Structure 1
Amino acid sequence: MSEVSQVSCPECGAEQSSGAPFCGRCGYRMRPADTVREGMTPVRRASAGAAEGTSRGVTPSDTSSSGLWAAEEGRTVMEGMRAISVREGLRGDEASLEEGDQARARARDGELRRWSGQVGGVVWASAAVCCVALAWMSWVYLQRAAVMEGAQQVAERGEPGRVEVEAGPYLRGLSEQAQSFMMLSCHRLERDEPERCEQEELLAGEYPQRTVELKAYAIDRLEVSVGAYQRCVDEGACAAIDYEGCEVWTPRGLQVSLRVPRVLKEEWRAVVCVTREEARAYCGWAGGALPTHDQWERAARGVDGGVYPWGDHWESESANWGERDVVGGPVAGALDGYVWTAPVGSYEGGASPAGVWDMAGNVAEWVEGEDPLLGAVRGGSWVSNPFELRSTARVERKATARRTDVGFRCAYGG
């Protein structure tokens, strides 16, 4: 081949026709001149001498730097680009690899953080569920323990045990001294409604004091509990309690928007929300009857006529009452230990001389009466103030009333 008609491919060094647009060996785009290998001088057309040297096995050092052997190391630079040394190329590759590794590392870190966040959320959620479950189990345990303790206390006090009351006289009503004290107390508590302290209305049936003879009889030591009443229901002798139709009374009065709370339905609480007729049915099933006014009052205050079951002076820790201070402000639950009713037999210090419990406070108690529409309750309740817990107090209620502050106990014989 002639010197003019042959050129060397800058990419692979193969000789090509000067008119060929691409190298026949590697497909590189041919250019007559100025295309260089990395860091090398421009490739020139091969001379015949150079070709002969190649065919004879002459080494690259025997040729000029402008000959074919100038294209021995490095990579071809694209047209118009700066020549890149081998070392720079290596550094570029390492940088590219490092950048790729860093990107992959960042992606892995992000994925780990997301995974850690998800795992952390699951762990915290599981911990919260465990805490709630533990709190619930603790509450159930404490509730059961309280019920068992209440059951043991009631069993020790003999519910539904009865107290025998001897025949004989007792003093019914208030003495003159007690009557004056009650009027003074009423005016102090009812400053906004002094008309409620009219003696004829306030102390009806309580004044003047008189002596009454009674036959021997027995009376329940404790108020009838929710559990005891339920046994009567289970045997078909009593109607189920209509809690839906029961009025919710608190120390603040009637609460029309409240339902009967669950605590009032616990087995060892004093039963509430029963009418006088339902209380009669239970006492008949138990072999007795509702106590008369005199039977109830005699059991509550003994023969000497005390103002309260425990004596003539008020004792805030001896009853479950509607805690109020001297100006009538409510301090519910602060003094007697119970916001609502208490388990039956909770106040040993409030027992009467006859040994009957809870004759003041906790629940007001139905007594027998002849009026089919109008009944009466005695003893005050957990919503009453100390003035209303006097043993002589008589409060009229509709015989069909269902209230969260009214329950009962039974009498036998007499």
Structure 2
Amino acid sequence: MPRLPAISLLPAACLAVALACAGGPARHPKAPPEVPGMVYIPAGPFLMGSDDGFDDEAPAHRVVLPGYYIDRQEVTVGEYRRFARAAGREVPRAVGHALSGRDELPVVDVTWEEARDYCEWAGKRLPTEAEWEKAARGTDGRRYPWGNEPPYHGGRHWACYAATLFHNPVYPRIVPGDFYATDRSPYGVLDMAGNVAEWTASTYDPYPGNAFSSPLFGKGLHVIRGGSWRSSAELLRVTRRRVASVAGYHRNDVGFRCVRDGGG
């Protein structure tokens, strides 16, 4: 089973000093190899969490990650169907009914275990919360993958979320991964604000230094990240955490994407 990467926390006050004192001539590392369907997220620090969101998002803190690859789009119905056929698994109920014949759409209605098993079958793994958030927001601390502007501005919606159904009910609830090209992170990863929410490898626990107490902390329940077609604008923020409240949890707005180690 693939191992999750080590995460090191770096206090904000120390980060600038560490970067300024690195010393030595500038190095130009070799570009990582391209992996079809995946985006490389370079090693380094980023700001995780928020001090002005929900209690479990605090405190904002610096996290340092090694380099890794993440799927550009969410795993599709067609991709999951190939896994189910190869592994002798049943497809999720939504795939056999509502999403029948729509292989280009993100797969939903999968449990955490099913998502994990697919990623392992594909030679990958589920992303940690930190990996997911860095891929979604980059290193500038933005609120949404595209920046700090609200999801509806400039006369159009920037992601697939609940308001798109209200304003234009002919839009489908779930759309192909490249339907909203504006829902794009600084690295070019798609649909990390809307469309379907996504499983992570992380369990629901407080961030270091957070005094907030939740009865769900420490229960081994897994975190879901990203908004979906059911979400309000406030729930599309890249720092928002959602937790599967029971074992075996699955919903028609929850899918997943995978990562793989990339060195660096």
- Work out which of the residue numbers 219, 222, 226 in structure 2 matches 1:379: 226
Q: Is the 8 A contact 2:197 2:255 kept in 1?
A: yes
Count matched residues.
Answer: 210
Match of 1:171 in 2: 47
The structure with more radius of gyration: 1
Q: Which moved more, 1:267-276 or 1:341-350?
A: 341-350
CA deviation digits over 1:176-224, x for unaligned, max 9?
5xx1xx5xxxxxxxxxxxxxxxxxxx330x2121111000000000000
Q: Summarize the alignment of residues 390-401 of structure 1 with structure 2, pairs less than 5 Å apart.
A: 390-397=237-244, 398-401=246-249
The correspondence of residues 24-35 of structure 1 with structure 2, limited to 5 A, is none
Q: 1:309 matched to which residue of 2?
A: 145
| Percent sequence identity over aligned pairs | 41
Structure 1: which 4+ aligned runs deviate by more than 6 Å? none
Letter in 1 for 2:151: E
**Could you say which residue in structure 2 is the equivalent of 1:342?**
175
1:287-302 matches, within 5 Å, as 287-302=123-138
Which consecutive residues of structure 1, in runs of 5 or more, have no partner in the other structure?
1-157, 183-201, 247-259, 324-330
1:231 aligns with 2:82: yes
Matching residue within 360, 364, 374 for 2:193: 360
Aligned-partner Cα distance in 1 for 2:233–2:140? 20
CA displacement, residues 261-305 of structure 1 (integer Å, 9 cap, x when unaligned): 624761111100100000001000111100000000000000111
Q: Please, what is the CA RMSD of the aligned residues?
A: 2.5
Give the drift of 1:343. Answer: 1.2
- Which sits farther off after the overlay, 338-347 or 278-287? 338-347
Q: Tell me which of the two structures has the higher relative contact order, counting C-alpha pairs closer than 8 angstroms and 6 or more residues apart.
A: 2
Deviations 1:27-68 (A, max 9, x none): xxxxxxxxxxxxxxxxxxxxxxxxxxxxxxxxxxxxxxxxxx
Contact 1:166 1:217 in 2 (8 A): yes
User: Any idea what SS the aligned residue of 1:349 has?
Assistant: coil
Deviation of 1:313 after TM superposition, in Å, equals 1.3
Which structure shows the bigger proportion of residues in strand conformation? 2
- Residues 264 and 376 of structure 1, relative CA distance in 2, 3 Å threshold: farther
**TM-score normalized with structure 1 length:** 0.47
Give the structure-2-normalised TM-score. Answer: 0.73
User: Is the Cα–Cα contact under 8 Å of residues 183 and 194 in structure 2 kept in the other structure?
Assistant: no
Q: 1:320 aligns with which of 151, 160, 163?
A: 160
| Partner deviation per Cα, 1:220-264 (whole Å, 9 max, x = no partner) | 000000001111112126x222317x9xxxxxxxxxxxxx86247
Displacement, 1:332?
A: 2.3
Instruction: Identify if the C-alpha distance between structure 1 residues 159 and 406 changes in structure 2 by more than 3 Å, giving closer, same or farther.
Output: farther
Contiguous gaps of at least 5 residues in structure 2: 1-33, 204-217
